[in-house]
A = this chain, B = another copy of it.
């Protein structure tokens, strides 16, 4: 993309309404625009990252054997009356009437509708196990939306639902989700720690939240420092291997890690003092096993191998897709702006032309641009007639992890400058070597394929 043709409305001033750094930086980098309290337009740069995160979530869900589909945003009240949640859900549910005076609502979650699809089409244990999921816009009418996309009212969320014959099968689905979530967050450059959580209005006993440590986190968290040494890394996993999935669960959840909602002071005190940590965290996902709560209420049964009709065991599993942008920025920024992890960066590399209009510099930038495109990488080329300082400030603000600076002086010596946004370190090298280096970096961070 050539910046002269892009729509990147960066702000010079710090917006007064933003209380936390990710909100401030998303506004300043021209990623979002608030349309009303807790409701945002996703400007081109913001949409690009949102889509990339969505695609990573799809990739990892599909890898785990979960099947993507999509529910409407609007639902009728009837299904929610069946489960008993229509009245229980309270004022966070946005309700309306259509022109025929039927009660409708904007989906805040979709247990009822997935259960409805399941019961309409599945009747035998032979069709299990089954995990369906969607990534779709949701609405929760928060009293006091704040922190930008971190606590918006309209938000983008992945919600998945497993349907299994037995509790044991459903717990394997739970473990598959845990593993796939660990992979998902790591691919985005995030460490998200599974913590034992409170199940809240969805109900159920087995539930973990995934928390990213950040000073601005809403939740107070208590954990054993050993847990931050764990990474899933690039190990292989067979999602059909129950023992392997259970092993990962045990590895990542056996140490003390809880939010304030489930914190147990006595248990925490058993952790050696030097390893006890109290910090703040941002919730970026949650997994639940809730058994037959919805299947019984909504009559979602299958016939088992002995001919008995039994309610299926279910769980639901969410990732806050739009919220993740905020969480990633909270964990990856400095005073000059965002620092995108390679896995989610909106453009792979920035090209800054120090002297737009200089024949040699223009030609060198164009050549780099074409080479990156040919390699399947997306460069953002700042081809505007602006001062170098302004171009650097924009690149730093929007946070592309790698920048190539091209100027007449360097070109005389056959070099351009390659700069890491994270470390600030620069090296001079030939344009060909710069391209090779960028290709090598992104070979380890392939673009997601999506659904």
Contacts and interface: CB of A to CB of B under 8 A. Distances in A.
Contact of A141 (B99, B139, B451): B99
Interface in A98-129: 98-99, 102, 104, 106, 113, 116-117, 120-122
B74 A139 contact: yes
Given A68-B44, A69-B42, A74 B141 contact: no
Nearest to A43: B69
Contacts of A65: 5
A299 interface: no
A204 interface: no
Contact of A71 (B41, B51, B96, B102): B41
A48 B451 contact: yes
Q: Which of A74, A76, A143, A450 has the most CB of B within 10 A?
A: A74
B41 A76 contact: no
A33 B40 CA distance: 30
B121 A9 contact: yes
A102 B67 contact: no
Given A7-B67, A68-B44, A35 B76 contact: yes
Interface string A24-36: 0000001001011
A70 B99 contact: no
A132 interface: yes
A352 to B, nearest CB: 20
A92 to B, nearest CB: 8
Contacts of A219: none
A40 B134 CA distance: 14
A106 B35 contact: no
Contacts of A104: 36, 94
A60 to B, nearest CB: 16
Contacts of A6: 67
B36 A102 contact: yes
Given A36-B102, A73-B73, A451-B51, A43 B117 contact: yes
Interface residues of A, number: 56
B72 A44 contact: no
A154 B136 CA distance: 13
A95 interface: yes
Given A7-B130, A41-B117, A143-B99, A47 B35 contact: no
Interface string A82-96: 000000000110111
A47 B106 CA distance: 20
B98 A69 contact: no
Contact of A96 (B70, B95, B451): B95
Given A6-B67, A42-B69, A91-B99, A36 B76 contact: yes
A71 B137 CA distance: 11
A246 interface: no
A426 interface: no
Contact of A154 (B5, B73, B132): B73
Contacts of A41: 69-72, 113, 117
Nearest to A6: B67
16 contacts: A7-B67, A7-B69, A33-B117, A35-B116, A39-B72, A39-B75, A39-B76, A41-B117, A43-B69, A44-B69, A47-B69, A50-B70, A96-B96, A99-B141, A99-B143, A106-B106
Given A36-B102, A43-B117, A106-B106, 7 more contacts: A33-B117, A44-B69, A72-B154, A73-B73, A74-B94, A96-B96, A450-B450
